[in-house]
Amino acid sequence: MSDSGTLADIGEFGLIDRITGSLPDHPMVILGPGDDAAIIKTDTASVVISTDVMVEGRHFRKDWSTPIDIGRKAAAASLADVAAMGAVPTGVVVAFAAPADLPTAWAVSCTAGLRAEIEGAGAALIGGDVTSADAIMITVTALGDLQGRAPVLRSGAQAGDTIAIAGRIGWAAAGLAVLSRGFRSPKKLVDAHRCPAPPYEAGPAAAKGGATAMIDVSDGLIADARHIAKASNVVLAIDSALIDVPEEISAAASAFNLDPREWLLTGGDDHALLVTIKKGNPAPAGFVVIGVVEPAGDKGAGVSVDGHFVTIAGGHRHFGA
Amino acid sequence: MSDSGTLADIGEFGLIDRITGSLPDHPMVILGPGDDAAIIKTDTASVVISTDVMVEGRHFRKDWSTPIDIGRKAAAASLADVAAMGAVPTGVVVAFAAPADLPTAWAVSCTAGLRAEIEGAGAALIGGDVTSADAIMITVTALGDLQGRAPVLRSGAQAGDTIAIAGRIGWAAAGLAVLSRGFRSPKKLVDAHRCPAPPYEAGPAAAKGGATAMIDVSDGLIADARHIAKASNVVLAIDSALIDVPEEISAAASAFNLDPREWLLTGGDDHALLVTIKKGNPAPAGFVVIGVVEPAGDKGAGVSVDGHFVTIAGGHRHFGA
């Protein structure tokens, strides 16, 4: 079948055929696409589930990102949430809404990006829904398996625990700032906005290595550290000197006359994994220690940076409130 | 908190608080909303999953349906898919996209409708995502448990099996026809378009009662019977005399000078459950026999009505192809 023309030419079932063509076998998939529902194995009597929606114009722009990047990014958000429970991603379903005049090649590339990210995280595309809409909207729901471990919640951090992080922070925010100012480079930063690179394996690794709390950094380091702090009723005391400032971010911040730490501390969308590790345990492979958990003080639970309690909101607010 | 004003006034987290407020306990829920992901029990080493998206202007109109009806309808589509595997719905996640100027009261009512349908089907709302968008889009992903049974696929029908159906057919199509012509009554038909009433319990009941194939009727009886026929390589021979024509549908068809059987045979969106039952087994409670499975003949696998092989397409085609 040709991928010239638009979705109006191939129709709903034509698109589904292209998305689900030659799906690889996966040991956890009992039933893939094609029936009323899909079926995933759950070896240990529970299943982890997270859903995430991305909307054209809100979460991505077609003129800033390739369709492959957009597909990858849409899948990454849900997969990272599953990893942040300490689970291994298994199966994913996707709801794909798009205008009938969307070029077929764009839709096919986008769904190829979805599959690349899903399969790269070790999971399988197992089903979905396709419909027409005025704007592109991609809802990704990922399932994960805890392999018999307890889930790592946001509420388990204890005073004395080590704070550590795996994956990039600040990169997507720096890339967005570059694009917003009309530039297309440095490419490494722009690419980081277009497509995150969550450290999926670090989630289960942290769970095995004594993680007491974990979250994926989608709103920004401070905002997401605060989620752990509030849920655990502690203070996450971050030492910014322990956070490496990558040269690319330093250079871009300098060019815009900004403090690079703002991107590192408040930039979201990189889907790093932020954990607290049981006192005495070493940081698991891939994690960098960036602070220590302290008891909640006079100001209650929250986040401090270099000894200063931080009250900025941070994170994107939908609906503008 | 007040529900006057718009989503811009309460913001993303205000809406989430309203949606997840006072969620009831559920025996299958290990972890509900509030962390990176939710966790559902899976007693029998597998989980069924289906996702379904509804878009304003495509699947519903705010001036035709109440927000409660729209929420219920969005949830029903996924829940019915899970039931159509013979599974019991357990947990549901919802991605809700809406304009920032949507009245808060509308969003709260819609999510109340989602919860009503989810809880009415015996399942629990366990998580979701909320974002802004130009149009309302609701993606519902439902999980289900097979309770140790084999799933009932589309591909298991065998010559000699009985064809049976549970739930309404033609009602939603008749209601849509009424609304499309500018009428608001008969209310029972219009309500059927606004909110389906899938027979969720009939799915597991059919699985226990010898169902060899099952599908939920979302595209129309003939179109969905054809899905079973093609997957099973048989002919589903429907005897239209066995399909009761409800008085409401008969009266509306008469008023519009239409054949009521068109609605019954081709109308979708009621989410009836269509099954084939192993030869010799009685129809399970709630099911009405409407035909018999025959071997594929000269014309291949497909559907016949009153002895005539039917080739009409039937069913809504997204993207217009």
Question: To the nearest whole angstrom, how far is the Cα of A76 from the nearest Cα of chain B?
Answer: 13
CA distances from B313 to A10, B227, B231, B305, B317 (A): 15, 11, 16, 14, 10
Q: How far apart are CA B192 and CA B210, in angstroms?
A: 29
Asked if B320 lies within 8 A of A42 by C-beta distance, the reply is no
Using an 8 Å CB-CB cutoff, list chain A residues near B318.
11-12, 100, 130-132
A contacts of B43 (beta carbons < 8 Å): 45
Residues of A in contact with B52 (CB under 8 A): 95, 129
Q: How many CA atoms lie within 13 A of A188 on its CB side?
A: 10
pLDDT given for residue B321 in this prediction = 44
pLDDT for A321 equals: 44
Tell me: pLDDT of A251 over 70.
yes
Which residue reads 């401070």 in tokens? A222
CA distance B106 to B101: 11
Phi-psi region of B11 (alpha: psi -120 to 50; beta: other; left: phi over 0): left
| CB contacts, 8 Å: A137 with chain B | 53, 55, 97, 133, 137
Q: What is the mean pLDDT of residues A13-38?
A: 91
pLDDT tens profile A265-281: 999 899 999 999 999 99
Residue contact B11–A319, C-beta within 8 A: yes
pLDDT band at A317 (very low <50, low <70, confident <90, very high): low
CATH architecture under which domain B154-320 falls: Alpha-Beta Complex (3.90)
Dig out the tokens for A149 from the structure: 């471990």
In chain A, the residue whose alpha carbon lies closest to the alpha carbon of B228 is A35
Distance CA A161, CA A157 (A): 7
Beta carbons of B214 and B86 less than 8 angstroms apart = yes
Cis geometry, peptide bond prior to residue A186 (ω within 30 degrees of 0): yes
Q: Write down the pLDDT at residue B43.
A: 76
| Minimal CA separation from A244 to chain B, in Å | 26
State the smallest CA–CA distance between residue A51 and chain B in angstroms: 6
The pLDDT score that the predictor gives to residue A298 is 94
Q: How far apart are the CA of B190 and the nearest CA of chain A, in angstroms?
A: 23
Instruction: Give kind and range of the element (H or E) at residue A214.
Output: strand A211-217
Q: What is the CATH number of domain B7-145?
A: 3.30.1330.10
Digitized pLDDT (tens) for each residue of chain B, 321 residues in all: 578 899 999 998 899 998 888 898 999 999 999 999 999 999 788 999 999 999 999 999 999 999 999 999 999 999 999 999 999 999 999 999 999 999 999 999 999 999 999 999 999 999 999 999 999 999 999 999 999 999 999 999 999 999 999 999 999 999 999 999 999 889 999 999 999 999 999 999 999 999 999 999 999 999 999 999 999 999 999 999 999 999 999 999 999 999 999 999 999 899 999 999 999 999 999 999 999 999 999 999 999 999 999 987 655 566 664
pLDDT in tens, A113-156: 999 999 999 999 999 999 999 999 999 999 999 999 999 999 99
Measured in angstroms, the CA of A41 and the nearest CA of chain B are apart by 4
Counted across chains A and B, CB pairs separated by less than 8 A come out at 255
Instruction: With beta carbons under 8 A apart, name residues in chain A contacting B134.
Output: 57, 134-135
Report the chain B residue with the minimal C-alpha distance to residue A232: B35
The domain spans of chain A are 7-145, 162-320
Our CA-based measurement puts residue A29 at a distance from the nearest CA of chain B, in whole angstroms, of: 9
pLDDT score for B313: 64
> Which CATH code fits A162-320?
3.90.650.10
Tell me the per-residue pLDDT of A57-114, one tens digit each, with 9 for 90 and over: 999 999 999 999 999 999 999 999 999 999 999 999 999 999 999 999 999 999 999 9
Q: Which among B179, B183, B184 is positioned nearest to B269, based on CA atoms?
A: B179
A186-230 pLDDT, tens digit per residue, is: 999 999 999 999 999 999 999 999 999 999 999 999 999 999 999
Q: Is the dihedral of CA A52, A81, A309, A255 positive or negative?
A: negative
Predicted confidence at residue B13, as pLDDT, reads 87
Name the DSSP class of B8: H
Alpha helices, DSSP H, located in chain B: 7-20, 67-83, 104-120, 171-180, 187-194, 202-208, 221-232, 247-255, 260-266
pLDDT digits (tens, 9 = 90+) for A53-67: 999 999 999 999 999
CA distance A302 to A313: 11
Contacts of A50 in chain B (CB under 8 A): 36-38, 93, 127
Give the pLDDT confidence score for residue B231 in this predicted structure.
Answer: 97
DSSP per-residue letters across A238-273: E-GGGS---HHHHHHHHHTT--HHHHHHH--SS-EE
Contact residues for B4 (Cβ-Cβ < 8 A; gap 6+): B104, B105
Distance from the first to the final alpha carbon of chain A = 46
Residue A320 has pLDDT above 90, yes or no: no
Task: Provide the pLDDT confidence category of residue A315 given band limits of 50, 70 and 90.
Answer: low
Q: For position A44, what pLDDT does the model report?
A: 80
Asked if A12 and B135 come within 8 Å (Cβ–Cβ), the reply is: no
Asked if B85 and A58 come within 8 Å (Cβ–Cβ), the reply is: no
Average pLDDT, chain A: 94
Q: What gap in Å lies between CA B235 and CA A73, rounded to an integer?
A: 44
Selected residue of A13, A44, A51 to mutate for chain B interface (largest B Cβ count, 10 A): A51
Question: Tens digits of per-residue pLDDT, A146-170?
Answer: 999 999 999 999 999 999 999 999 9
Q: Give the pTM.
A: 0.94
Chain B residues in contact with A41 (beta carbon < 8 A): 45-46
CA distance A113 to chain B (A): 19
From A55, A84, A155, residue closest to B131, measured CB to CB: A55
Question: Which of A11, A42, A50 shows the shortest C-beta gap to B46?
Answer: A42
> Alpha carbon of A293 to those of A204, A223, B180: distances in Å?
21, 16, 61
